[in-house]
Chains A and B, each alone.
Chain A
Amino acid sequence: MTDLAIETQGLTKRFGAQTAVDGIDLAVPRGAVYGFLGPNGSGKTTTIRMLLGLVRPTSGAARVLGTEMPRGLEAVLPRVGALVEGPAFAPFLSGEANLRRFDSADRHASPSTRGARVDEALERVGLAHAAHKKAGAYSLGMKQRLGLANALLMPRDLLVLDEPTNGLDPQGTREVRSLVRTFAADGTTVFVSSHLLAEIEQLCTHVGVMSAGRLVAQGTLDEFRNAGAARVELRTPDVARAREVLERLGLRTEAEASVIDATDASGEGPAPDEIVAALVAAGVRVHGFTVREESLEERFVELTGEGFDVVA
C-alpha cells in the first residue's frame, strides 16, 4: 500500500483538438482532505471522471487507492464514494428507491443490509423525513444531500466530492463541512473540488490548483499560502524614518498617509519580531503592526489569472 490515495503521472485528456487535462501529476496523501481548485473549465471534472474510470485518459497513468485505473475499477470503486458534477436521480423514483437502485448496482453491496444502510445514509444527510418523496420533487439542496447520501452508502476509503456544497443553504454548507471533517478524522481521504476558496480554506489540509488543464500548484495548505510574498502593514507618524528602516531590511515599501505597506518579495527577509525591534531601535513610534498573510483568493488569482473569461 502506497501512502498516496490518488496518484497520477502525466494524466492527459484530449477531446479532438482541445486538451482538457494536460499532463497533470496529482499526489493526494492518504488521510488528507485535498482541495482541488480551479476556475470553471480548468479540467477539474474531467480529471475526476478519469479517476473514476468514466473517461479514458489519452495518455498518462492514474492510481487510485494504489490500483491502476481504469483497469482496476471493479476492485477500487466500491471503496470510493463520489459526487460527480452534481447529483443525478430518476425523478419518478423516491429518494430512497434511487439510493437502493445505486446500491444494487454495486455487486459488493450486500442486499441484506441494503435497507439499513440506505436509511442510515438518508439519516446522516438529514433526508429521513423526505425518503419517500419523489426525487423529482426535491429542491436543489435536497438533491445535493441525496447525492451525498449516495456517496455514503458503503464504508469508503476515499470520497471524491465535486462541488459538494453547490446549492446548499448556509446550514447545509456547515453540515457538509462537519461531515467531511468527521470522515477525515476517521482516516478517510477526501478529495474535494470547488471554486469556493473560503470553503477549501476551512476544510483542507492539501491544495491543488488547476488552470487551463494544468496543475499549476500543489502542496499542503500552509505551503501553498506561504509560497506567496509576505506582507506587513505598519501604522506610524514617522513615515520617512520607518521606510528607511524597512528598506534597509530588504523590504519593498509603499506609503499612504500614516500607513506603510511593506512587502518581502524574496521570502527570506526578517521575521516580524525582528522588524518591530529594528523599528523601535531606530526610534520609530509604532502605532500598529499587522502581519498580512496572503489570502487564498489572492494566491489563487495570482496562479490562475484575473480574467473572467472561461478558458476554452
Chain B
Amino acid sequence: MSSPDPTHTPQPAPLTPAPLTPASPPPSDTDPARVSNQSGHSQAGSVSLGEAARAGRAARAGRAGGIHSLLATELAMLFRRWRTWAMLAALALIPMLIAIAIRIAGSSSPGRGPGFLDQIAGNGLFVGMTALVVAMPLFLPLTIAVVAGDTIAGEASLGTLRYLLIAPAGRLRLLVVKFAGAAVFCLVAALTVVIVGTLIGWALFPIGPVTLLSGGQVSVGEGLLRFLAIAAYVCVSLLGLSAIGLCLSTLTTVPVGAMAATAILAVSAQIAGAIPQLEWLHPWLFTDRWFDFADLLRSPPSWASFGENLLLQGAYLLVFGGLAAWRMVTKDVLS
C-alpha cells in the first residue's frame, strides 16, 4: 500500500472499529449476556445497542435522496471528466476557426461554402449559425455518441454498474438518470457552438440587425433569442440519437463499441437521407429534420418543423428508450 505523500510513512491506518451497526438488530442480540460475550472479540469494544440504533436512525432520517440526488452526482461526474471538456473545447474550436479564417481571408462569395458563411463578414452573429451547419453532420453526433454510448457500458466496464445497482439505484431509475445526463450534454454541446460562435463573431466582426431567410430583419436581441431557440432545436434533434446510444450501451460492456456503433448509425442515417431512391425511408430517419433549424430564421418563425422534429425524436426516444429499459430490467449484470 503506497502513500501519495513521500514524507508520509506508508503505514496503513488501522481499520478502527467504530459505531456503525444495524438499525434494527435481531431481537436475540438484546440478550445482554450474548452481547457482552461477543463484544470481547472486538478490540476497541463494541458500541451499546442504543447508540447503534440511534446511528441507524440518523442515517436513514430526514428526506431520503430522491432521483435528483443521483442526477446531481451523474452530472458532476460527467462534467468532472477531462473527456467531456475536451469534446466541448473541440466543438468551441469550430466557430473560432471559421471566424478567424473569414477575418484573415475575407468574405466568401454568396452561395459557396456552408450555409450563412457569406453573411459573417457583414454580421458576426452568424458565426454561430455557420458553425452549427458545419458541426451538425459529424462533430456534434460524434460527441453525443461518446456520451450516450458510455452511459451504461462505461459503468459496466468499470464494474461500478454492479455497485450502483446494489446500492440500490434501481435499474430503471439509473437508466432515466443516465439518459437525462446525456440530454443535458446535448443541450450544453449545442449551446457551446452557438454561444462561442456568437461571442467570437461579436469580437471579430461588425454586428447588427439579423437578416432573416425571408429577407426581413429583426433586432439583435430578437436575433439572439432565435439563436437560442435554434440551440434548443439542435438539442432536441440529438435526443433520438442519445436514445439509440443509450440502448446500444445496455447491450455491451465495451463502451467504445457502443460509441462507435452510435456514431456509425448517425452517419449512415444521413447517407440514407441523401439517396433519393430511398425517399420512402426519409421521414423515418432520425436525421431527417436535423438541418431544418433554419426555419426558425423565417419571418414569422416557422415552428412547424420544430414540432415535427420533436415528434420524430420523441418516437425514437420511445422506441429505443423502451428497448433500453427492457434490456436493462432483464439483463444479468455479470460485469
Q: Is the CB of B43 within 8 A of A178?
A: yes
Asked if B112 is an interface residue, CB under 8 A from chain A, the answer is: no
Q: Is the CB of B159 within 8 A of A137?
A: no
Smallest Cβ-Cβ distance to A111: which chain B residue: B65
A interface bracket (residues with beta carbon within 8 Å of B): 35 or more
Q: Is the CB of B158 within 8 A of A91?
A: yes
> Contacts A74-B170, A104-B69, A169-B12 given: A93-B80 contact, CB under 8 Å?
yes
* C-alpha spacing A89/B8, complex, angstroms: 25
Q: Is the CB of B167 within 8 A of A106?
A: yes
> Contacts A92-B81, A105-B174 given: A186-B52 contact, CB under 8 Å?
yes
B-facing residues in A78-92 (Cβ within 8 Å): 78-80, 82, 84-92
Q: Mark A1-23, 1 if CB is under 8 A from B, else 0.
A: 10000000000000000000000
* C-alpha spacing A174/B26, complex, angstroms: 27
Q: Is the CB of B160 within 8 A of A126?
A: no
Q: Mark A122-166, 1 if CB is under 8 A from B, else 0.
A: 011111111001000101011001001010101111000000000
Smallest Cβ-Cβ distance to B27: which chain A residue: A1
Q: Is the CB of A186 within 8 A of B166?
A: no
* C-alpha spacing A82/B286, complex, angstroms: 42
The count of chain B contact residues (Cβ–Cβ below 8 Å) is: 73
Of B55, B64, B166, which contacts A80 at CB under 8 A? B166
Q: Is the CB of A52 within 8 A of B22?
A: no
Asked if B108 is an interface residue, CB under 8 A from chain A, the answer is: no
The secondary-structure label for the interface of chain B is loop
> Contacts A88-B158, A185-B42 given: A74-B4 contact, CB under 8 Å?
no
Of B1, B80, B162, B166, which contacts A141 at CB under 8 A? B1
A-B contact pairs, 19 of them (CB 8 A): A49-B334, A54-B332, A54-B333, A84-B163, A88-B158, A97-B76, A104-B72, A107-B169, A109-B59, A109-B64, A109-B65, A112-B62, A124-B18, A124-B20, A128-B13, A155-B59, A181-B41, A185-B46, A186-B47
Task: Give A residues with C-beta under 8 Å from B.
Answer: 1, 30-31, 49, 52-56, 73-74, 77-80, 82, 84-93, 97, 100-114, 117, 120-121, 123-130, 133, 137, 139, 141-142, 145, 148, 150, 152, 154-157, 169, 171-172, 175-176, 178-179, 181-188
Task: Give B residues with C-beta under 8 Å from A.
Answer: 1-4, 8, 12-18, 20-29, 35, 38-44, 46-47, 49, 52, 55-56, 58-67, 69-70, 72-73, 76-77, 80-82, 158-160, 162-170, 173-174, 330, 332-334
